Amino acid sequence: MTMDRPGMLRIMSSDRPELRGGMMKRFTTVDASKEVAVIVDPYSTGCLVAKEIQSRGYKVIALWTKGFSEEMKKHIPLSCAGISYFAEVTEGEDHGETIRELYKAAGTYKIVSCIAGGEAGVDAADVLSERLMVRTNGAGGVFANRRDKKVQQELIRDAGLRSVRQAAGKKFSDVEEFLRKESYPVVLKPTDSAGSDGVKLCHDFDEAKTHFEYLLTVEAVNGGFNTEVLCQEFLRGKEYVVDSVSRDGEHKCMQVWVYDKRPANGAAFVYFGMLPIDSSSQDAKLLINYCNSVLNALQIKNGPSHAEIILTASGPCLVEMNCRAHGGDGNWRPLARALTGGYSQVEGTVDAYLDKKAFQMLPRIPPSPAKAFGQEVILVSYAAGEVAATPGYDVIRNLESFVFLETGVSVGSKVEHTVDLLTCLGSVILVHEDESVVLKDIATIRALESNDQLFDFKLTATPLRASMSTLDFSHLTVSDNADI
């Protein structure tokens, strides 16, 4: 749930090595000493996948796609600090040139996989893995655009699954009729956006038109410019995440999460956290079955996936299927490992591509009950101003269940009232074997927020309490399908 962006302050617990280093040492069941894996655009969680592959004895080549920003190349999680690669290759003018450069970089090593290291690398990984004749989802026909959010909805609709009402276009006239007829609010996003990049909930026609035109002029977070904008119905219901790994069309759920969204600072849907869901619950069963059907409809047969789904009154409905691992720098990995007793989507991804026996040993769903308790806590600010000191960080890092803190706020930063993901302060991962400890620590964090004790501000800071809002959100018991 954390934002995928460089330049963040990251603090990891120094006295819980069992979470920092992993709970289960995994070794490949094949000889990897003369083999190399290609990771396309390894950033965020992609770095964790690369490091896991290296830990099993493989060499790793980093392939950077054209237009991928130099800043994003530096987006390396704290747990992967100092990571290096057997070779680094830049995408060529065509696929043939790229493949020749990869073979040249591999030398005497055999290329055994080509994996997307992040959203920006999905399309290239699909094409190149097919041409390299390694495990692939393929890129033929309509599936060449499976990352396109409009195409995703069309494919699952054709498969008879609940899908979103939508319209997309490269110019406003393509979507004008839809925006005039659809009930508001509506969601606008680039068709190939990453995370919450460019996503906005628009409340009337004029706002939608302004944002449509804005998206065609602004640079995307991963580099390049948007060429098409997607307009979708607003889905009412709780928002969930289903993280899976697949091999030869066999899907295994690694974790089911639900977003904690509440009114704050005059905004209806502010992220307060991401919580794991018991895999034996009715909601989890419904979501996992639906997600597997979506994966089949999109012909995602191999590798990791990160599905965002709204559980509406009429059943689950896909927001988007991300054909790569859960992002957020993989900060959730220690939590996921604790919940399962030793594995996460990172290990499952490597198993899916490189170790058939290990993949077969993975459970089809996470264990129930979970082996530990925890969640990701999103930090919310009820005040705005320039930060003079960060006393709350010391309190958080000394919590009994503390594992990890990520934030973009430090001394000198200007903090705004939190109304969306862009204005959140950061996130904290909490894990403990005792649920009461986790709940106590969550309460401590929430008290720091509500009492404005996370930061010392310069005297110009302006507090704003949720209770001060004159807006009535009591009738809203739903969350939206936009990462806003």
| pTM confidence score | 0.85
pLDDT tens column, 258-315: 999 999 998 878 999 999 999 999 999 999 999 999 999 999 999 999 999 999 999 9
Q: Residue 138: phi, psi to the nearest 5? A: 75, 165
What is the distance between the alpha carbons of residues 13 and 24, in angstroms, rounded to a whole number?
19
pLDDT in tens, 123-166: 999 999 999 999 999 998 878 888 888 899 999 999 999 999 99
What pLDDT shows up at residue 140?
86
Strand partners, 239: 310
DSSP 8-state class, residue 284: H
| pLDDT score for 33 | 84
CA distance 111 to 91: 16
Beta-bridge partners for 62: 39, 88
The helix-helix angle for 333-340 and 345-354 (nearest 10°) equals 80
Q: How far is CA 342 from the centre of its chain?
A: 21
313 three-state secondary structure? coil
Low-confidence ranges of the chain (pLDDT < 50): 2, 21-24, 466-484
The CA distance from 81 to 67, in Å, is 24
> Tell me: the pLDDT tens digits for 229-260?
999 999 999 999 999 999 999 999 999 999 99
The pLDDT, as a whole number, for residue 478 is 40
Question: CA 277, CA 288: separation in Å to the nearest integer?
Answer: 11
Which pLDDT score is estimated for 306?
Answer: 98
Res 12: pLDDT: 75
199 vs 232: CA distance, rounded Å: 11
In this predicted structure, what is the pLDDT of residue 220? 63
Taking CA atoms, 308 is separated from 212, 311, 323, 417, in Å, by: 22, 10, 11, 26
pLDDT, position 17: 55
- The rounded distance, in Å, linking the Cα atoms of 426 and 295 is 31
- At residue 197, the pLDDT reads 66
In order of 368, 456, 463, the CA distances from 384 in angstroms are 42, 11, 6
Residue 269 contacts residue 480 (beta carbons within 8 Å):
yes
Nearest CA-CA partner of 169 in 144, 143, 189, 195: 189
Q: Cβ of 73: how many Cβ atoms within 10 Å?
A: 15
Residue 422 confidence (pLDDT): 82
User: Which amino acid makes up residue 88?
Assistant: E
Q: What is the pLDDT of residue 14?
A: 63
Contacting residues for 220 by C-beta, under 8 A, at least 6 apart: 190, 193, 194, 197, 198, 226
Dist CA 57 CA 243 (whole Å): 26
